[in-house]
Amino acid sequence: MAKLPPMDLALEQARAAAMRGEVPVGAVVLGPDSAVLASAGNQTEALRDASAHAELLALREAARLLDTPRLVGCDLVVTLEPCPMCAQAISLFRIRRLIFGAYDPKGGGVEHGARVFDAPSCSHRPEVVGGVRESEAGALLRSFFAARRL
């Protein structure tokens, strides 16, 4: 089986989340050697946990696997601009680089809204690369919400 590029894996996780009735967001944590450590899709409905965002689930699993509370040198790939809660967690986990797909003008916390990494209280600011496969990630979200408005 061929190894999927990280954003492909994140999009696969997002599509799987949508099939479960979750908002289609997927996340992948890459180790310092770029190997996939963990991946997850949203599970807020399944776990009855408002904090069960894809980013947090993947970050927690990677930290568990590495047996450390900080993921220094690790990267996070996610299909949607993280919300303020996830952006703060990304800072606390000391993620080296955040790569995300679709921008979220309404609920984002990185380039929009709270802009967590720009706050003076932010203890760590990762490198941020936004808009990677933005149209594909955005289309997945639009399709998911359009189906619910019918």
Contact between 83 and 42 (Cβ < 8 Å):
no
- DSSP 8-state symbol, 116: G
Contact between 86 and 109 (Cβ < 8 Å):
yes
Q: Which candidate, 23, 7, 3, places its Cα nearest to that of 15?
A: 23
Work out the angle between the directed axes of helices 84-92 and 54-66 (0-180°, nearest 10): 20
Contacts for 135 with CB less than 8 Å, ≥ 6 apart: none
**What is the Cα–Cα distance from 18 to 59, expressed in whole angstroms?**
20
Residue type, 27: A
Query: Is 111 in the active site?
Result: no
Contacts for 67 with CB less than 8 Å, ≥ 6 apart: none
In the set 12, 22, 55, 61, the catalytic residue is: 55
Residues belonging to the active site: 55
